């Protein structure tokens, strides 16, 4: 139950950050592909850098162990990503 | 406190600030729940749940039993939270409104009809979710959550996603790209 409560609150913070970054709008998502508004990239890369630093620091301190790392299978990741990009550019989600 | 309240009421933050918030959420998810922030997987959990109720034989396969087990998972609760969080953000900035299609750029590109937006969004979302299913995650579950653990899969996915996204937009916008 605690875990589900955590999920709910983490989700709220996640959704809130998406809303404040403007990523709930069609034009924000599509314009990153037109190079006219790079908010998506700035948002994603900042999140990546912050969480990478945090996670590797915590692991270095021995406070956490990593969960299952998403599997790498080049063909699947590549083809999936290519299909995903089409959907993302069309819908703006 | 006043400053804080003013920030909450702002419609848009700098993407860097919002990114820091998401980064912290990503760390907390691993630290407190030992989970990754995935959104697309939750749709598959839900689809499995509905599928098992409607056509149990068809959905009694390896995918919906083991790879993406049907049921109310951690990810499904997270998804509900994402929805609520987006709503909280919009309510705080006073931009909350039921919209059917009011993105100016969309209208300028495809025309003002709301049904067009809904049809393209529906089929586009199927394409998107299918791609996420093959790749093993979406922008949040694979690109960000995988990337923060330095999974090679995430970076292959990000590259592929941007490549095809750029080509698709190029085809959609043509001269106006």
CB B33 within 8 A of CB B77: no
Are A93 and B165 in contact, with CB atoms under 8 Å apart?
no
Residues of A in contact with B30 (CB under 8 A): 55, 64, 66-67
Domain ranges for chain B, please list them.
1-98
Judge if ipTM > 0.90: yes
Q: Which of A53, A13, A14, A21 lies closest to A40, judged by CA?
A: A21
Tens digits of residue pLDDT in B113-133: 889 999 999 999 999 999 999
What are the pLDDT digits (tens) for B60-118? 888 888 788 888 899 999 999 999 999 999 999 998 888 888 789 999 988 888 899 99
Calpha distance B35→B48 (Å, rounded): 20
DSSP character at residue A22: T
The pair of structure tokens assigned to B82 is 């994402």
What is the Cα–Cα distance from A51 to B149, expressed in whole angstroms? 9
Cβ atoms of residues B170 and A92 within 8 Å: no
pTM: 0.92
Interface subset of B 85-124, CB within 8 angstroms of A: 85-90, 103-106, 120-121, 123-124
With H, G, I as helix, E, B as strand and everything else as coil, classify residue B148: coil
| Residues from chain B contacting residue A66 (CB–CB below 8 Å) | 30, 149
Which chain A residues are closer than 8 Å to B169 by Cβ?
Answer: 30, 33-34, 89
Q: Does the distance separating the beta carbons of B29 and A52 come in below 8 Å?
A: no
**Residue B28 contacts residue A12 (beta carbons within 8 Å):** no
Is B27 in contact with A50 (Cβ distance < 8 A)? Answer: yes
């Amino acid at each position: 139950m605690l875990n589900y409560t955590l999920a709910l609150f983490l989700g709220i913070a996640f959704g809130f950050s998406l809303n404040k970054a403007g990523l709930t709008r069609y034009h924000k998502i599509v314009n990153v592909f037109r190079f006219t508004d790079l908010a998506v990239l700035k948002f994603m890369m900042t999140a990546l850098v912050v969480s990478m630093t945090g996670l590797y620091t915590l692991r270095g301190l021995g406070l956490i162990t990593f969960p299952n790392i998403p599997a790498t299978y080049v063909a699947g990741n590549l083809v999936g990503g290519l299909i995903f990009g089409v959907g993302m550019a069309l819908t703006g989600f | 406190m006043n400053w804080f309240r003013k920030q909450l009421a702002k419609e848009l933050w700098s993407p860097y600030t919002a990114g820091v918030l998401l980064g912290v959420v990503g760390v907390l998810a691993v630290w407190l729940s030992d989970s990754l922030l995935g959104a697309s997987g939750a749709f598959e959990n839900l689809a499995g749940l509905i599928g098992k109720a409607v056509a149990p034989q068809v959905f009694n396969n390896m995918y919906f039993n083991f790879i993406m087990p049907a049921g109310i998972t951690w990810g499904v609760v997270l998804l509900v939270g994402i929805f609520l969080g987006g709503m909280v953000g919009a309510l705080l900035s006073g931009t909350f409104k039921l919209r059917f299609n009011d993105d100016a750029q969309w209208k300028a590109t495809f025309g003002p009809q709301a049904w067009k937006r809904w049809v393209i969004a529906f089929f586009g979302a199927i394409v998107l979710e299918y791609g996420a299913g093959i790749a093993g995650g979406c922008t949040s579950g694979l690109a960000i959550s995988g990337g923060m653990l330095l999974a090679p899969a995430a970076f292959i996915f990000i590259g592929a996603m941007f490549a095809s996204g750029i080509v698709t937009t190029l085809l959609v916008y043509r001269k106006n790209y």
